[in-house]
């Protein structure tokens, strides 16, 4: 929102490096009149709420002398000069941000805004703090360094604030409604096929022309053969043969050309669709974890699957038909005018009227059909809701209620459909009626002209033949608008994915580490998720081969640290270093090859056990797979399965227990022989007996690797060299188990609380369940 223009000199009282700026146009004149000589506005913010939370605009300006504010309603300017003890703070609650100016003992002013202004508010505070510091101490601040927008990589005038993901121009782009012009972006995918597209176009031209020949031939057939026969002349069989051959030839030509055209264009559009799908999926795979966190799986699947298909159908069917229709109408017009301009005029006159009428009805139908689509989505969402939760439905004996819910959604579906069908059933008869009326006009004028001997019967017949063809096409042409809109919306949704630049970008100048030792260092790491700060100021150094345990309550930031180390997200402050190199300067794939990850819920892909173990190293030899399975204590249970290593697992595959799946995922991590190992609650979802088995497997895995383990059950971390205790995103204690116990601090309390519960297995299970529900709430 602030929009500083570059300035070369810094006048007195202004922090060097901060440039002046232009105020918003509605406030500029007023605000500038408030400024005294030598006073300059440094940052501003337009607020959109008043103190009673009613929508009203206001302005806050930070100058090099004071802070100024006014509202639209009273137009009174209030001011506060810089002095000791002033602070400006912001916080937000349910979509409303508050900015408070405080001094040591009271609240001076409070402003409210909707969160759209949050970035401006943060910038305002930044400028305020800088100016206050400068005014009080006189120490100028270092000039801000050049920054890039993480999304479009442009050099920005002002640095982005933490929590802000993209520059203003990026964020405004995304929120425009889809326009038909989006369709032209498909050209990027059509370009490789431009030769074939041109051929398709020429064939369309040819086949359309060929279909227009038969009505033309009816004219001489009528005038030179049939009418003279009625007047007593014998039929000239040579002439008849000639015309009929012409008709047959034109039909066959139209058939051949039409076939070639449809085939070529279908081929091309199918390829464009496939390219689009592949490109989108490939791009999707490169996006950060953050992106997937905010998207529903079903939505992404729909975009890649059905949207690309819709675009595909649009190109191969609707666009082609439309082009053909336009060509046909153009050519027909030329032919009609060349035969008889007057009759042509009369024939074409009703055309726009009919087209307009059809469009009117269509428009009404379109909104109806859109509604049907949405209601249909509602019906499926009831299914999507209940089927995964079937166990809960059955357990609480709510089958009747769910059936009722489904019936209600269906009833609504029926109701909407009934309403649409009322108009829809009228539609085709209406088009027919309109066509007939149009023909009637042509008949009328034609007969009148024939009676005046201005045209022949043949000409009239030809006109009628032509015109009935293209009235029929009007209906499909009128549908084009909605097809285009739908395809444009689909294209936009696809390009939304394609335009999204990963928030975990590949380095521009990658550094390669030939040998990785496994020393990890976190330096003042901070991470924000949206506006919420998750971790702050975390500094940890992990030596090669050391095992670290991360301990803390749910929401203390353990998983965040792991996600940051894996580079699923990028830090917002500070840096993470591997062997002294910032991980952001390493190529992502190369970096992640060094990490073995064992998750709480092991994910098995559909395939054989051997394939699942070799997921990180598809070319692994069978001996390697077996060795990894042995080390993970998975070998024996795999042999007990009917097909051994060739047993199918994953979705639709063999059912394995939690512990078995976990051991397969441990084998998977072992096989790639990573330098760094991350165990994220690897043993939380299994009972203690299974845990012991997994622990044994893990011992093999951990040996000689830098290991970072998260566990709720503190007993599983007793082997760790060091434990790091986290609370609310900060490191509060570090040391091994004995040291921390001796300190009797946070860890001691956590351990005591758990030890009380570990008397029986039941209690332990309950504890874990509690914790999980806690996590689920996060």
Partner 1 sequence: MINKPCFQLSRNAFGRLVFTGTDGVVREGIIPVRAFPITSPDRGIALVDQGGHELVWIDQLEDLADELRRLVEVDLASREFIPEIKCIHDVSSFATPSVWSVETDRGRTSFILKGEESIRRLRPPALLISDRHGIHFLIRDRFALDRSSRRILDRFL
The residues that touch partner 1, with contacts defined as CB under 8 A, are 48-49, 51-56, 93-96, 100, 102, 105-107, 110, 114-116, 118, 174-178, 367, 370-371, 374, 485, 489
Tokens of 623: 């001996």
CB of 95 to partner 1, least distance (A): 4
H/E stretch holding 89 = strand 87-93
Q: Minimum distance from CB of 531 to partner 1 (Å)?
A: 10
Q: CB-wise, 54 or 743, nearer to partner 1? A: 54
Q: Which is nearer to partner 1, 423 or 610 (CB)?
A: 423
Q: Which residue's CB is nearer to partner 1, number 69 or number 344? A: 69
CB of 377 to partner 1, least distance (A): 9
According to DSSP H, which parts of 528-599 are helical? Answer: 558-565, 588-592
CA-nearest of 553, 505, 556, 512 to 535 is: 556
Q: Long-range contacts: 225-230, Cβ < 8 Å, 24+?
A: 227/456, 227/457, 227/458
How many degrees, rounded to 5, is the angle at CA 400 between CA 396 and CA 403? 120
CB 594 to partner 1: min, Å? 38
CA angle, corner 774, sides to 773 and 775, nearest 5?
90
Minimum CB distance to partner 1 smaller for 320 or for 375: 375
Minimum CB–partner distance for residue 404 and partner 1 (Å): 15
Cα 584 to Cα 153: distance, rounded to the nearest angstrom: 15
Residue 572 CB-density burial (10 A; 0-12 exposed, 13-18 middle, 19+ buried): buried
- CA 167, CA 125: separation in Å to the nearest integer? 19
Contact criterion met (CB below 8 Å) for 459 and 357: no
Rounded to a whole number of angstroms, the minimum distance from the CB of residue 100 to partner 1 is: 8
Element of type H or E holding 724: strand 722-727
Q: Are 427 and 476 in contact (CB under 8 A)?
A: no
Q: Which is nearer to partner 1, 55 or 181 (CB)?
A: 55
In angstroms, give the least distance from the CB of 178 to partner 1.
6
Q: Strand 676-680 to strand 706-710: parallel, antiparallel, or no bridges (unpaired)?
A: parallel
In the bound complex, what is the minimum distance in angstroms from residue 375's beta carbon to partner 1?
9
Helix (H), strand (E), coil (C) string for 601-643: CCCCCCEEHHHHHHHHCCCCCHHHHHHHHHHCCCHHHHHHCCC
Nearer to partner 1, 174 or 404 (CB): 174
> Least distance from C-beta 485 to partner 1, angstroms?
7
Give residues with Cβ within 8 angstroms of 427, minimum separation 6: 361, 362, 365
- Antiparallel, parallel or unpaired: β 581-582 and 573-578: antiparallel
User: In this structure, what are the phi and psi dihedrals at residue 222, rounded to the nearest 5 degrees?
Assistant: -70, -55
Cβ 54 to partner 1 shortest distance, Å: 4
**60, 74, 154, 61: which is closest to 110 by C-alpha?**
60
Strand spans (E) along 313-392? none
Q: How far is the CB of 503 from partner 1 (least distance, A)?
A: 18
Gap between the Cα atoms of 29 and 319, Å rounded: 52
Q: Terminus-to-terminus CA distance in the chain, angstroms?
A: 32
CB of 101 closer than 8 Å to CB of 108: yes
**Residue 297 to residue 286: CA distance in whole angstroms:** 16
Minimum distance of partner 1 from residue 126's CB (angstroms):
20
Give 118 or 475: the residue with its C-beta nearer to partner 1.
118
Cβ–Cβ under 8 Å, residues 471 and 437: no
Of 381 and 428, the one with the shorter C-beta distance to partner 1 is 381
Take residue 66 and report the two structure tokens written for it. 């004071």
* 115 or 251: CB nearest partner 1: 115
Of the candidates 563, 31, 684, 627, the residue with the CA atom closest to the CA atom of residue 293 = 563
Residue 526's beta-bridge partner residues?
573
Local structure of residue 255 (DSSP, 8 states): H
CB atoms within 10 A of CB 506: 12
Closer to partner 1 by CB, 371 or 523: give it.
Answer: 371
In the complex with partner 1, the residue whose CB is nearer, 54 or 401, is 54
CB of 491 to partner 1, least distance (A): 12
Asked if 669 and 677 count as a contact pair (C-beta separation under 8 A), the reply is yes
Choice between 307 and 570, CB closer to partner 1: 307
Q: How far is the CB of 49 from partner 1 (least distance, A)?
A: 8
Q: How many CB atoms lie within 10 A of CB 244?
A: 12
State in angstroms the smallest separation of the CB of 17 from partner 1: 31
**Residue among 108 and 441 whose Cβ is closer to partner 1:** 108
Instruction: Output the smallest distance, CB 106 to partner 1, in A.
Output: 4
Cα angle for residues 553, 554, 560 (degrees, 5° grid): 110
Residue 120 CB, shortest distance to partner 1, in Å, is: 13
The residue among 56 and 641 lying less far from partner 1, judged by its C-beta, is 56
- Which residue in the block uniquely carries the two structure tokens 């166990």? 391
Under 8 Å CB-to-CB from 527, ≥6 apart: which residues? 533, 534, 535, 557, 560, 564, 569, 571, 572, 573
Q: Which is nearer to partner 1, 105 or 762 (CB)?
A: 105
Which tokens sit at 579? Answer: 């062997």
Nearer to partner 1, 174 or 345 (CB): 174
- C-alpha 300/C-alpha 649 separation (Å) is 25
Smallest separation (angstroms) from partner 1 to the CB of 371: 8
HSE-CB of 411 using CA atoms within 13 angstroms: 6
Q: Which is nearer to partner 1, 389 or 530 (CB)?
A: 530
When the beta carbons of 374 and 765 are compared against partner 1, the nearer one is 374
The bridge status of strand 573-578 relative to strand 520-529 is antiparallel
């Amino acid at each position: 929102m602030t929009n500083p223009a570059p300035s070369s000199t810094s006048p007195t009282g202004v922090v060097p490096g901060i440039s002046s700026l232009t105020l918003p146009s509605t406030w500029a004149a007023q605000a500038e009149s408030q400024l005294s000589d030598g006073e300059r506005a440094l940052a501003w913010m337009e607020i959109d709420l008043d103190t009673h939370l009613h929508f009203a605009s206001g302005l806050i300006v930070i100058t090099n002398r004071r802070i100024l504010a006014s509202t639209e309603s009273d137009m009174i300017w209030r001011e506060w000069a810089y002095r000791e003890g002033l602070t400006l703070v912001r916080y937000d609650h349910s979509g409303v941000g508050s900015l408070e100016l405080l001094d040591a003992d009271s609240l001076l002013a409070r402003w409210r805004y909707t969160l759209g202004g949050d970035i401006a508010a943060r910038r305002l505070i930044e400028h305020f703090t800088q100016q206050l510091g400068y005014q009080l101490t006189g120490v100028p601040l270092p000039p801000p360094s050049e920054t890039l927008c993480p999304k479009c990589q442009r050099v920005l005038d002002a640095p982005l604030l933490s929590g802000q993901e993209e520059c203003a121009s990026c964020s405004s782009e995304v929120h425009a409604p889809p326009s038909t012009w989006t369709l032209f972006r498909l050209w990027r995918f059509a370009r490789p096929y431009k030769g074939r597209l041109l051929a398709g176009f020429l064939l369309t031209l040819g086949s359309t022309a060929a279909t227009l020949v038969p009505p033309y031939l009816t004219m001489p057939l009528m005038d030179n053969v049939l009418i003279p026969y009625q007047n007593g002349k014998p039929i000239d069989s040579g002439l008849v043969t000639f015309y009929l051959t012409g008709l047959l030839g034109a039909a066959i030509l139209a058939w051949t050309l039409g076939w070639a055209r449809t085939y070529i264009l279908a081929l091309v559009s199918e390829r464009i669709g496939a390219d689009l799908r592949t490109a989108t999926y490939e791009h999707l795979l490169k996006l950060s974890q953050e992106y997937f966190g905010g998207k529903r799986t079903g939505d992404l699947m729909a975009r890649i699957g059905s949207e690309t298909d819709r675009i595909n159908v649009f190109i191969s069917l609707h666009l082609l038909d439309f082009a053909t229709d336009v060509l046909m109408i153009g050519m027909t017009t030329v032919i009609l005018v060349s035969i008889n301009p007057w009759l042509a005029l009369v024939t074409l006159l009703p055309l726009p009227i009919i087209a307009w009428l059809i469009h009117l009805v269509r428009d009404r139908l379109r909104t109806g059909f859109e509604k049907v689509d949405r209601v249909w989505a509602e019906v499926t969402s009831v299914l999507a809701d209940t089927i995964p939760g079937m166990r809960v439905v059955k357990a609480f004996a709510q089958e009747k209620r769910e059936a009722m819910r489904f019936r209600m959604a269906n009833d609504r579906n029926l109701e909407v459909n009934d309403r649409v069908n009322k108009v829809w059933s009228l539609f085709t008869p209406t088009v027919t009626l309109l066509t007939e009326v149009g023909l009637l006009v042509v008949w009328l004028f034609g007969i009148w002209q024939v009676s005046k001997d201005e045209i022949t019967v043949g000409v009239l017949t030809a006109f009628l033949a032509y015109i009935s063809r293209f009235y029929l096409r009007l209906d499909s042409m009128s549908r084009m608008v909605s097809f285009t809109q739908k395809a444009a919306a689909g294209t936009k949704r696809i390009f939304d994915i394609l335009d999204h630049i990963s928030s975990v970008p590949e380095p521009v100048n990658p550094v390669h580490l030939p040998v990785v030792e496994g020393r990890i260092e976190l330096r003042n790491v901070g991470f924000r998720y949206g506006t919420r700060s998750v971790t702050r100021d975390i500094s940890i150094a992990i030596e090669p081969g050391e095992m670290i345990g991360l301990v803390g309550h749910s929401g203390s930031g353990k998983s965040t640290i792991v996600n940051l180390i894996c580079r699923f997200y990028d830090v917002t402050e500070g840096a993470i270093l591997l062997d002294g190199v910032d991980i952001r300067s390493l190529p992502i794939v190369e970096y992640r090859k060094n990490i073995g990850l064992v998750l709480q819920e092991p994910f098995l892909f559909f395939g054989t056990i051997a394939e699942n173990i070799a997921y990180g190293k598809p070319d692994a030899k069978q001996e390697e797979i077996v060795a990894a399975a042995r080390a993970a204590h998975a070998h024996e249970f795999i042999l007990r399965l009917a097909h051994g290593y060739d047993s199918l697992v994953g979705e639709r595959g063999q059912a394995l227990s939690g512990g078995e799946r976990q051991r397969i995922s441990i084998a998977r991590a072992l096989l790639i022989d990573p330098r760094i190992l991350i165990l994220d609650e690897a043993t939380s979802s299994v009972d203690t007996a299974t845990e012991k088995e997994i622990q044994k497997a893990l011992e093999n895995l951990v040996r000689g690797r830098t290991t970072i383990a998260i566990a709720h059950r503190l007993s599983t971390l007793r082997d760790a060299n060091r434990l790091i205790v986290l609370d609310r995103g900060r490191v509060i204690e570090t040391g091994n188990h004995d040291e921390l116990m001796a300190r009797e601090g946070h860890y001691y309390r956590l351990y005591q609380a758990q030890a009380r519960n570990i008397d029986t297995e039941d209690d332990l299970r309950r504890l874990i369940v509690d914790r999980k529900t806690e996590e689920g709430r996060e």
